[in-house]
């Protein structure tokens, strides 16, 4: 049986930050827990000294498996922190061996996402029997996330829930990092398989943007690379539409350059929207094409989007309400949370941001210290209406719930 | 009849196209404007957070254990408040005219030297600035490889230059860090001012702590020395007592046999031998006096006089008894003694007699034979005590010797001029000190008489 503990802080000295987080998270467990086989999931912003973080984690917990990734901000019980040196951890303590396992790869790209994800899933399945949910932390720059999900599905089947997100930097979309024990990867992906039969994951997702204006049609594309929109170089046209310079890098444009794609009807209710959002984090300077995190076939219509504050708050309430109904009467043991990097300080001031987080945490925590680890990343994985999907600009909540005999039908 | 409402004209496709474009343009401008507003709000958030951190540092940095601890905390707060990857805090030491690095953040050991040769003259005013604006300074700090940095001098409240703080980024950091906003130098100056004041306080407190520690050390040393002295004095006094006591018995025997020799055989001796016998007799007597005085002194030293239990002694009677006991000497020298009415106070009677006797006889002894001794015994109240003075018209004491004369066996003159063993005044000092008083001598110089004063507590 897995037990979870979390903490986050803004301590700038990386070694101290890790020690402080571990101490805070495991305060109730006593000294012996540090010597056990633990899983430590790290989310850190880009300014930390990653080597020092990992080394401190291993020094304090020599038997621990350490995985993690960079993000634009950390969200914990303590709130959100988007400083250059913010750290959040979730520690999972296993009652017996084999309750969790990890697999990882380096150099995951759009063209090899299926293959790499499949190989990881195979490793995970072989080494950790009984995996009943998969947590992905992958590079967020040019992964084809839908292809990666296909790779997982081909090994574990469509039923297995996949959650997690893609790592980010501080919204510059230059580079993101993933961590596996003492290794620091720049284009890697990590899969964590949880094999605790007493646990299940319940998810909630929503975004608060609306499509505006006329759609732009993809007129030339290959896999997740879009060359032309309405017959013009894709990035150039998008920048023109947004009144931004043609040579703008993608990072600073993320908050305004989100694109909406029509969702099939069956997802409208669970997604709470007719459109799914796509982010652009990589642009080809030469041909002015851009990369989406999913395949984008020719003929796809893409809309510019605008955030709608009312929709953000009302959607958030609906999401939490739906989630609360699903987990009613059961014990929530931990919450993982991925939020779009653009939904942090790039879009909201501190007061609004804190309010959003409070609206999510309060109904689930119900006054207790519920382990919570969230990050502002480039994209989110969520299972919707029986299908694992990848999307952007959303808030996605993954509540790990202890199975109960009183599951609400 | 009302006016006939004309049916609305259907817009043309071109008009609709234009309106759509205008609308699209307005929407996109709205998106951009919204984003600009968010940026401004975010900037304000950051500024507020920065000042909260500066405030917090004021509290956290106040009472640190060591300068290293203080400097580490300071650099970490600079990193947090200004979101830069590197920080260096240095302190100016005027004696070396160099800046010494107190703490660094984000530099490898090899990058940050332990000191810099940058004098205060490089810093005009208290305001922070960007390193990129001062090429000379950038050159001097080139070892740090900083592409740009916020720099501010640190000052004490009195304006003394204390050091420099730098917080910035290298070229490779610019991958993830935005170029430093020149506006940040205002908040940086505020924080540097706070750090300067706290550093000053730390150093002042450190100095005070050091002084207190040193003072405690000296006090401890003095206490130990005083204990050593007391112990050594006690041992010496015990030694003097034992020696004088043990010498007394053989001396008594020698004097007995000398007295017998003198009484029974002196007349039969040749005149030269008679002379020798007289010298032996005189020397034995002198030796006996010395031993008596030494014994008296040793007894005084070894006994602890409890001033609380002392009887009240009328000093007028004490002086009268002393004059009566020494009337032969007084009359022989035709000495005149004038005594003011003296008080009654708690004292040891025998010791008071010894004290006055020693001082009166000294006054007579040290008055040249051709001069008639004039002795005045004066007294005046001093708070709860009395100050007594024995004033004479004797040979006086030169200034340099006035402190020496109370020491054991201290004689200023050869014994053939003024007889004595150098113990009388030591005994006086001991008696006065036993009574919790103080004694001293004054003289206008040789031939001008002397005044021996002492203070004794009253009732």
Give CA angle at A224 (A218, A229), nearest 5°.
20
Minimal-distance CA residue of chain A relative to B28? A242
Give CA angle at A171 (A168, A176), nearest 5°.
30
- For residue A169, the chain B residues in CB contact (below 8 A) are 176
Instruction: Answer whether A10 sits within 8 Å of B80, measured CB to CB.
Output: yes
Cβ-based neighbours of A5, under 8 Å, separated by 6 or more: A25, A26, A28, A29, A90, A91, A93, A371
Helix (H) or strand (E) holding B426: helix B424-434
Helix (H) or strand (E) holding B340: none
Phi and psi based region of residue B97 (left: phi greater than 0; alpha: psi -120 to 50; beta: remaining): left
pLDDT tens over chain B, length 459 residues: 444 556 677 888 888 888 887 887 787 777 778 777 877 877 887 888 888 998 999 888 888 888 999 999 999 999 999 999 999 999 999 888 889 999 999 988 777 788 888 877 778 788 999 999 988 888 888 888 899 999 999 999 999 999 999 999 999 998 899 899 999 999 999 999 999 999 999 999 888 989 999 999 999 999 988 888 888 777 777 777 777 677 777 888 888 988 888 888 888 888 888 888 888 888 888 788 877 777 777 777 666 666 667 889 999 999 999 999 888 889 999 999 999 999 999 998 888 998 999 999 999 988 988 889 999 999 999 999 999 999 999 988 887 777 778 876 666 665 556 666 678 888 899 889 888 899 999 988 888 899 999 999 987
Query: Residue B334 carries which DSSP code?
Result: T
The pLDDT of residue B295: 74
The pLDDT of residue A344: 79
Cβ-based neighbours of A268, under 8 Å, separated by 6 or more: A274
- For residue B32, the chain A residues in CB contact (below 8 A) are 242-244, 256
The pLDDT of residue B292: 79
Asked if A356 contacts A115 with a C-beta cutoff of 8 angstroms, the reply is: no
Q: Which residues pair with A339 in a beta bridge?
A: A376, A395
The two structure tokens encoding residue B393: 């018209």
Spatial separation of the C-alpha atoms in residues A163 and A59, rounded to whole Å: 29
Q: Is B29 on the interface with A (CB under 8 A)?
A: yes
pLDDT in tens, A288-332: 999 999 989 999 999 999 888 888 888 899 999 999 999 988 999
Spatial separation of the C-alpha atoms in residues A314 and A319, rounded to whole Å: 9
* Nearest residue to A90 via CA among A66, A115, A107, A106: A66
Q: Which of B31, B41, B76 sits opposite A242 (nearest CB)?
A: B31
- The pairs formed by A13-16 with CB atoms below 8 angstroms and a separation of 24 or more are A13/B76, A13/B105, A14/A48, A14/A49, A14/A50, A14/A52, A14/A53, A14/A56, A14/A85, A14/A87, A15/A49, A15/A52, A15/A53, A15/A55, A15/A56
Domains in chain B, start-ordered, CATH in brackets?
Answer: 58-210 (3.30.450.40), 306-457 (3.30.565.10)
Q: How far is A193 from chain B, CA to nearest CA, in Å?
A: 32
The 3-state secondary structure of B46-109, one letter per residue = HHHHHHHHHHHHHHHCCCCCCHHHHHHHHHHHHHHHHCCCEEEEEEEECCCCEEEEEEEECCCC
Which residue of B173, B176, B179 is the best one to mutate when testing the A interface, meaning the one whose CB has the most A CBs within 10 A? B176
Interface of A with B (CB under 8 A): 10-13, 46-47, 49, 83-85, 169-170, 172, 174-175, 212-214, 241-244, 255-256, 304, 306-307, 345-350
β-pairing, A282-284 vs A189-194, is unpaired
Spatial separation of the C-alpha atoms in residues A208 and A308, rounded to whole Å: 6
Report the SS3 class of residue B183. Answer: coil
* Nearest residue to B190 via CA among B147, B235, B154: B154
> Quick count: other Cβ atoms within 10 Å of Cβ A130?
13
Spatial separation of the C-alpha atoms in residues B54 and B52, rounded to whole Å: 5
Q: Which residues pair with A74 in a beta bridge?
A: A81, A375
Q: Is B51 on the interface with A (CB under 8 A)?
A: no
- For residue B174, the chain A residues in CB contact (below 8 A) are none
Instruction: Answer whether B175 sits within 8 Å of A348, measured CB to CB.
Output: no
C-alpha distances out from residue A4 to A79, A129, A328, A334, Å: 18, 21, 20, 6
Instruction: Answer whether A304 sits within 8 Å of B23, measured CB to CB.
Output: no
- For residue B175, the chain A residues in CB contact (below 8 A) are 172, 174-175
């Amino acid at each position: 049986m897995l037990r979870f503990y979390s903490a986050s802080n803004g301590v700038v000295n990386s070694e101290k930050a890790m020690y402080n987080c571990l101490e805070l998270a495991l305060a109730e467990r006593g000294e012996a827990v540090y010597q056990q086989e633990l899983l430590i999931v790290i989310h850190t912003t880009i300014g930390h000294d990653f080597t020092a973080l990992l080394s401190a984690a291993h020094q304090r917990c020599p038997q621990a498996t350490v995985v993690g990734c960079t993000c634009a901000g950390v969200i914990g019980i303590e709130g959100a922190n988007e400083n250059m040196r913010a750290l959040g951890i979730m520690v999972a303590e296993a009652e017996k061996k084999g309750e969790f396992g990890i697999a990882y790869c380096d150099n995951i790209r759009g063209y090899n996402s299926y293959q790499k994800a499949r190989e990881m899933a195979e490793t995970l399945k072989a080494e950790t029997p009984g995996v009943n949910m998969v947590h992905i932390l992958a590079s967020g720059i040019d992964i084809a996330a839908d292809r990666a999900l296909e790779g997982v599905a081909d090994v574990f089947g469509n039923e297995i829930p996949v959650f997690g997100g893609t790592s980010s930097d501080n919204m510059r979309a230059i580079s993101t990092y993933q961590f596996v024990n003492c290794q620091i990867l720049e284009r890697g992906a990590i899969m964590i398989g949880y094999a605790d039969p007493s646990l299940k994951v319940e998810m909630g997702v929503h975004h608060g943007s609306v499509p505006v204006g006329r759609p732009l049609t993809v007129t030339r594309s290959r896999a997740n690379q879009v060359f032309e929109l309405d017959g013009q170089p894709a990035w150039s046209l998008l920048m023109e539409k947004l009144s931004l310079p043609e040579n703008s890098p993608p990072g600073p444009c993320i908050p305004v350059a989100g694109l909406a794609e029509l969702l099939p009807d069956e997802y409208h209710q669970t997604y709470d929207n007719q459109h799914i959002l796509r982010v652009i984090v990589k642009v080809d300077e030469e041909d002015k094409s851009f990369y989406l995190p999913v395949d984008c076939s020719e003929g796809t219509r893409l809309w510019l989007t605008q955030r709608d504050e009312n929709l953000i708050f009302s959607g958030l309430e609906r999401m939490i309400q739906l989630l609360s109904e699903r987990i009613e009467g059961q014990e929530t043991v931990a919450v993982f949370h991925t939020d779009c990097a653009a939904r942090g300080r790039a879009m909201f001031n501190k007061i609004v941001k804190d309010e959003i987080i409070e609206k999510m945490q309060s109904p689930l925590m119900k006054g207790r210290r519920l382990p919570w680890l969230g990050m502002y990343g480039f994209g989110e994985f969520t299972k919707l209406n029986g299908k694992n999907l990848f999307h952007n600009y959303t808030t996605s909540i993954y509540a790990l719930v202890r199975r109960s005999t009183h599951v609400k039908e | 009849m009302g006016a006939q409402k004309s049916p609305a004209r259907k817009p043309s496709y071109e008009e609709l196209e234009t309106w759509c474009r205008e609308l699209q343009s307005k929407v996109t401008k709205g998106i951009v404007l919204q984003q600009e507003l968010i940026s401004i709000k975010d900037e304000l958030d950051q500024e507020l957070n920065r000042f909260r951190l500066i405030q917090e540092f004021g509290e956290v940095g106040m009472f640190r254990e060591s300068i290293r601890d203080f400097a580490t905390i300071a650099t970490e707060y600079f990193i947090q408040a200004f979101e830069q990857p590197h920080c260096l805090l240095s302190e100016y030491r005027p004696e070396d005219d160099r800046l010494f690095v107190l703490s660094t953040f984000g530099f490898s050991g090899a990058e940050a030297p332990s000191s810099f040769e940058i004098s205060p003259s490089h810093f005009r005013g208290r305001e922070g600035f960007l390193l990129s604006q001062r090429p000379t300074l950038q050159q001097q700090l080139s070892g740090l490889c900083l592409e740009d940095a916020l720099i501010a001098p640190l000052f004490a409240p009195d304006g003394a230059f204390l050091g420099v703080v730098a917080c910035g980024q290298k070229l490779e950091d610019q991958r993830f860090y935005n170029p430093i906003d020149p506006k940040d130098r205002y908040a940086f100056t505020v924080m540097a001012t706070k750090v300067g004041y706290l550093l000053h306080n730390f150093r002042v407190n450190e100095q005070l702590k050091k002084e207190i520690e040193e003072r405690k050390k000296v006090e401890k040393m003095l206490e130990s020395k005083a204990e050593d002295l007391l112990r050594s004095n006690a041992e010496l006094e015990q030694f003097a007592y034992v020696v004088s006591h043990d010498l007394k018995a053989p001396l008594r025997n020698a004097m007995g046999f000398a007295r017998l020799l003198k009484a029974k055989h002196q007349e039969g001796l040749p005149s030269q031998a008679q002379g020798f016998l007289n010298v032996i007799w005189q020397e034995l007597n002198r030796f006996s006096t010395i031993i008596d005085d030494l014994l008296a002194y040793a007894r005084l030293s070894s006994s602890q006089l409890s001033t609380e239990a002392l009887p009240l002694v009328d000093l007028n009677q004490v002086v009268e008894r002393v004059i009566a006991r020494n009337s032969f000497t007084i009359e022989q020298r035709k000495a005149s003694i004038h005594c003011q009415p003296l008080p009654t106070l708690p004292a040891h009677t025998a010791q008071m007699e010894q004290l006055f006797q020693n001082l009166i006889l000294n006054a007579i002894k040290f008055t040249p034979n051709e001069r008639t001794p004039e002795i005045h015994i004066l007294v005046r109240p001093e708070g709860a005590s009395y100050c007594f003075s024995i004033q004479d018209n004797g040979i006086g004491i030169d200034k340099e010797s006035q402190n020496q004369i109370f020491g054991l066996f201290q004689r200023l003159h050869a014994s053939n001029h003024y007889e004595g063993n150098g113990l009388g005044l030591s005994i006086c000092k001991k008696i006065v000190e036993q009574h919790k008083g103080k004694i001293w001598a004054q003289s206008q110089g040789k031939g001008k008489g002397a005044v021996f004063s002492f203070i004794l507590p009253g009732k």
